Amino acid sequence: MTIIANRIDGRLIHGQVANLWATKLNITRFLVIDDEVAKSDIDKQSLKLATPSGIKLSVLPIEKAALNINNGKYDSQRLMLIARKPDRFLQLLEYGVKLKELNVGNMSQTEETQSLTRSINVTEEDIDVFKKLDEKGLKVISQMVPNDEITNFMSLLNK
């Protein structure tokens, strides 16, 4: 499988992803899956600037990303899927994309969120989506940087 890693990160591509994760996993393409970001030229340009040289970048609506993955477009690459919210990964699964593991990185705090850890804040809707992902057999973990200990994310929800 060409999908090496799946990550939720509210900041999408930034230092941890661009430098630590991409280097550790030898990523050759970031695939940002987000309908809104895919429509924003400013967001896409910012992501392009944050992407290290030597790594390709695609910013696609979820349905198009699923189509490309399922059609083998990235089969010769080492792909890291990145999205801001868990519902994007649930939609990928519903489009038939095979995923094994999802790493929950940074989810920013807002007035609607509750804090699970210092850097992970979720809404009730997010919690429902994480439960659906778990029910579909996706292993959901939390690991901010490669050297951190891996935490079973679902155990954080059940505290």
Torsion sign over Cα 142, 43, 49, 69:
positive
pTM of the model: 0.94
- Per-residue pLDDT tens over the stretch 74-115: 999 999 999 999 999 999 999 999 999 999 999 988 888 888
**Domain with 153 in it: what CATH number?**
3.40.35.10
pLDDT score at 120: 93
The domain tally of the chain equals 1
Range of the domain at 77: 3-157
- Per-residue pLDDT tens over the stretch 21-43: 999 999 999 999 999 999 999 99
How is residue 96 written in tokens? 């038939």
DSSP β-ladder status, 121-122 and 114-115: antiparallel
pLDDT score at 159: 65
